[in-house]
């Protein structure tokens, strides 16, 4: 049974679902249960400072599409090549969770005046013991943080991927995906990119060739697959 640090009841609202006159309707009431792992953002301070130092040496062009989140973004070393000619900037960091990305949003997202934001996070949150509901709550907080500064910049959420190393957690990860997918249907500037279904075989198991030996991180074939899904979606939406 999960330890709660703390437990929080949340009513998820989805606009236009059953309410009259466009009023939000309650989709469901969920319980955010935090795992025992500390999510203190300070552990990533040195990594963020490295990005800031790099920016001083070679300032990124404002208006790039900023990719941020956990190691699946950080390790996408061919991102610029894969999405060319779209201007992209990789600002992923290690084993981060959604709330940590929000904490550093001023410094590694908003400071670049992005034309769009692409987030991959939530995978680690669940692996560290948090419920799908917490991923949803923290995604909402991330969106709110961005909207405090920029109102209409599109935000794309790449679905949590299935992986052999975390197969036991896949049901909870799917639930997080569905909560966020539902939320993105309520606002034109929120978007959900589903990479998960293409990563499963006919039996519903992760396709092993898409991962490196640890069964968690993506192989070149995995990033190749992501490119075939992410690139055309961004190109169509953003006019490339």
pLDDT tens figures, 67-112: 999 999 999 999 999 999 999 999 999 899 999 999 999 999 999 9
Other Cβ atoms closer than 10 A to 5? 14
Q: Which domains does the chain have, with CATH numbers?
A: 40-238 (3.40.50.1110)
Predicted confidence at residue 29, as pLDDT, reads 57
Q: Report phi then psi at 48, rounded to 5.
A: -65, -40
The angle that helices 132-149 and 170-184 make with each other, rounded to 10 degrees, is 30
- Whole-prediction pTM: 0.89
In whole angstroms, give the CA distance from residue 17 to residue 220.
41
| Residue with more model confidence, 40 or 7 | 40
pLDDT reported for residue 152: 93
């Amino acid at each position: 049974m999960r330890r709660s640090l703390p437990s929080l009841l949340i009513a998820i609202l989805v606009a236009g679902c059953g309410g009259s006159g466009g009023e939000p309707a309650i989709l469901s009431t969920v319980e955010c249960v935090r795992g025992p792992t500390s999510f203190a953002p300070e552990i990533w301070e040195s990594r963020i400072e490295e990005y800031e130092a790099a920016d001083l040496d070679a300032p990124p062009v404002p208006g790039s599409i900023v990719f941020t989140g956990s190691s699946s973004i950080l390790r996408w070393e061919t991102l610029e090549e894969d999405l060319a000619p779209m201007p992209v900037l990789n600002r992923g960091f290690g084993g981060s969770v959604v709330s940590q990305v929000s904490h550093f949003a001023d410094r590694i997202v908003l400071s670049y005046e992005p034309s769009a934001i692409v987030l991959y996070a939530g995978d680690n949150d669940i692996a560290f013991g948090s419920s799908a509901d917490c991923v949803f709550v923290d995604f909402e907080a991330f969106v709110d943080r961005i909207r405090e500064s920029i109102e209409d910049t599109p935000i794309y959420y790449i679905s949590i991927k299935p992986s052999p190393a975390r197969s036991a957690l896949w049901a909870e990860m799917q639930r997080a995906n569905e909560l966020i997918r539902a939320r993105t249907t309520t606002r034109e500037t929120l978007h959900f990119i589903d990479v998960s279904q293409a990563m499963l075989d006919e039996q519903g198991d992760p396709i092993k060739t898409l991962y490196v030996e640890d069964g968690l991180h993506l192989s070149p074939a995995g990033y190749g697959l992501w490119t075939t899904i992410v690139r055309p979606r961004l190109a169509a939406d953003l006019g490339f």
